[in-house]
Amino acid sequence: MDCGFCANPGQFTCSRCHMVRYCSKEHQKKHWKEHKTSCKCYRVEENEVYGRFLTAQPGLPGQSPPPVIKAGQRILQSSPVLVGPRLECPSPVCLSCLKALVSDGRGRRAGLGGLTQAMKTKEESVNCKSCQFAFCSQECIQQPSHATKECKIIAQLTRLCRRATSDVGPPPSPRSRPCVGSLVGSGGESPQEEEQEEEEEKEEDDEDDEDDDDDDDDDGNGNGGNSTFQADCRSLGYEAILPLRLLMAWDEKKFLTLLKLESHVTALENQTTRWNAIRTKVIEVLRQQWEESLVEQACGLILTNTFEVMISPQEAPLLGIYEEPSLMNHDCVGNTRLVMSSDLKLTVYASIDIKAGMPILFNYVRPLDSIVARQKYLNRNKFFQCTCARCHDPTDLTTFVSSLRCPSCNGPVVAQDLHSLAGDWSCLKCQVMMKPKQVMGSLQRLEEIQNKVETANSEKALNQYLKETKMVAFDTHGLVCDILQKLIRIMSPQATHGPHVEAVLGQKVQYCAIVLRVLDKLEPGLSLGRGNPHLSNYQIFEPGPDDVCDLLRFLLLLLGIVLYEMQSTLVQIANVEFEKDQTRVTELMASLVKAKEMLVTADQCLALEPPQSPIRLQFGHIQGDVQELDNYIEMVKYL
């Protein structure tokens, strides 16, 4: 094949895309300006089964060896084409900078447990005089992204909503909270609290009526322009912002390729309660400006193709629409790692080597989720039945993360028919059968324990839940691994002192080994989960209706690095044993070398994180630890 810059025979291939040859490095450099836009290690393919999806470039005909995307190699980087509040149960945000707002001075809002400095209360925020939405500042109101067109359309739709409301009678009492029970949940407040808030807001609204009866900016509901924090089903709320932005973009002939993505509107319509809530809050509002079918398509696309993102850990959860990343197909054992930077750029790395022509895959679910949880999530939110190798294997690739415990022999009990999980299950060891009623009872019990585990923060409580879980589930069930991850971190302060230090350290190593054996099969390669399994699906994850992004739970995700914890524990054990018997130099050296290997791997797993990410800030000392361990090893050589 000829050189991509001249007619001379090509001597070598572009190392990234493997699709262009060059006769010299000089010609490659000269051709880069033209080639860089098409230099990709992946391509978009399409078929009837998967639609459009990404695969690794096949390379040039006859190329030997065929190209490989190496583990750790950057596959693509993408900025969101659009970002906005969630379609279901959104949090109040400034529409320009997307920083969090709260609905009252007490610092409460859906999904978050407290008020941070980054958040502004209703009293501190500034309302746009035209559209009545709240903003961080006057500067944000004047941002072109809002002021040029979006503001006018919101104001126009608000007026149309007001007219529609006057035709059908007065609207229901407004609420200050953006998350309404008719969507997916009440956001954690009790009915009594909601009633009290409604009474308080009613008094405030009455006062606003007196002040703003003649104000053209009044929203028509007697709220004096404070409609920002309402979730009135007959006015435009945060739920409609991202669909509105997408529809506006399509009007301007932007991002039209998104129209090729699946919207699954028909399947969503079958989820009656959920779809009716979206229809009330979004479709009925936006169809006054756009065709109803197009609004439905926009809503379906957002529900099934967006990524949930955060500007920072303290900010509200948002949805981002990314064109190329959304084309990655799902597999319950993915081959990619997704990393989000503070400017919301999404970078996709290969977590393992990806051979030429192979699909580029992202796991939409948590690696430790059981097959019951995975299929439930995928059916409800992605509208397909996963047929990957893991879902065809009742043992979950011999990890048994879905397996129950046999009441007869303690062996793993698995589903006999993976297409009918509500059927009979059987023990792989003694073939004892578990009937559907018994299986459902066990699964329900595990769900109850999991709800308790999420808020548990003491070693005593976690050990009790571990004991209860193992009475129902097999030794490496996903919930068992979840509990072990939390215990690994909680045990850390106790591992360096006390009368039973060796027993504690030994147990900690055992817990680390169990979790790592599972993750090595379910999340192999340079995954964040192996370096920090709590974060395996935090950094970026696709949203579902049951995802409530709780700040406390988010902070809990920062706990524990299995590889890091395991290597440090091995060093501690080696030191304790060497102090007892200083002739065991060989054993000490072997433990230190093994610990260094783990530490280097942990560093590789975490190195892909952005420099200012919470993970890098918390564990930025690992390279220093490697150097200290090297020095220790050198010292031991002379013993």
**Predicted confidence band of residue 179 (pLDDT cuts 50, 70, 90):** very low
Q: 109 versus 575: which is more confidently predicted?
A: 575
Mean pLDDT of 363-381: 92
Say which range, 187-196, 221-230, 319-328, has the weakest mean pLDDT: 221-230
pLDDT at 423: 86
Cβ(85)–Cβ(174) below 8 Å: no
Q: 133 versus 527: which is more confidently predicted?
A: 133
Q: 561 versus 88: which is more confidently predicted?
A: 88
Residue 540 has pLDDT above 50, yes or no: no
Residue 276 has pLDDT above 90, yes or no: yes
Residue 437 has pLDDT above 80, yes or no: yes
pLDDT at 433: 95
Kindly state the DSSP code that residue 171 receives in the 8-state scheme. Answer: P
What lies within 8 Å, CB to CB, of 186 at 6+ separation is: 179, 194
CA dihedral 149, 150, 153, 159 (to 10 degrees): -130
pLDDT at 229: 33
Instruction: Report DSSP letters for 226-285, one per residue.
Output: -GGG---TTS--GGGHHHHHHHHHHHTT-SGGGGGS---HHHHHTSHHHHHHHIIIIIHH
CA distance 254 to 497: 62
Mean pLDDT of 615-632: 75
Q: Which of 114-128, 205-219, 389-403 has the highest mean pLDDT?
A: 389-403
Residue 315 has pLDDT above 70, yes or no: yes
Q: Where are the alpha helices (DSSP H) in 414-492?
A: 436-453, 459-472, 478-490
**Predicted confidence band of residue 280 (pLDDT cuts 50, 70, 90):** very high
Q: 438 versus 501: which is more confidently predicted?
A: 438
Kindly state the DSSP code that residue 473 receives in the 8-state scheme. Answer: B
Q: Which percentage of the chain shows pLDDT scores above 90? A: 44
CA distance 394 to 638: 52
pLDDT digits (tens, 9 = 90+) for 560-599: 356 666 777 777 777 777 777 777 788 888 888 888 887 7
CA distance 639 to 581: 13
Tokens 């964040």 map to which residue? 528
Cβ(450)–Cβ(479) below 8 Å: yes
CA dihedral 125, 129, 130, 135 (to 10 degrees): -10
CA distance 258 to 312: 27
pLDDT digits (tens, 9 = 90+) for 12-60: 888 888 888 899 999 999 999 888 888 999 999 999 888 899 999 988 8
pLDDT digits (tens, 9 = 90+) for 597-620: 877 777 776 677 776 666 666 666
Residue 247 has pLDDT above 90, yes or no: yes
CA distance 138 to 95: 12
Cβ(344)–Cβ(83) below 8 Å: yes
Residue 493 has pLDDT above 60, yes or no: no
Say which range, 296-300, 315-319, 452-456, 615-619, has the weakest mean pLDDT: 615-619
Q: 175 versus 518: which is more confidently predicted?
A: 518
**Predicted confidence band of residue 503 (pLDDT cuts 50, 70, 90):** confident
pLDDT at 407: 94
Averaged pLDDT score across all residues of the chain = 78
Cβ(177)–Cβ(200) below 8 Å: no
pLDDT at 364: 92
Q: Is 543 helix (H, G, I), strand (E, B) or coil?
A: coil
Residue 168 has pLDDT above 60, yes or no: no
Tokens 């359309």 map to which residue? 153
Cβ(285)–Cβ(235) below 8 Å: yes
**Predicted confidence band of residue 361 (pLDDT cuts 50, 70, 90):** very high
pLDDT digits (tens, 9 = 90+) for 446-462: 999 999 998 998 999 99
pLDDT at 403: 97
Residue 94 has pLDDT above 50, yes or no: yes
pLDDT at 446: 96
pLDDT at 612: 64
Residue 84 has pLDDT above 80, yes or no: yes
Residue 298 has pLDDT above 80, yes or no: yes
pLDDT digits (tens, 9 = 90+) for 548-563: 233 222 222 333 356 6
pLDDT at 406: 97
Residue 232 has pLDDT above 70, yes or no: no
Q: 291 versus 506: which is more confidently predicted?
A: 291
pLDDT at 107: 35
pTM: 0.74
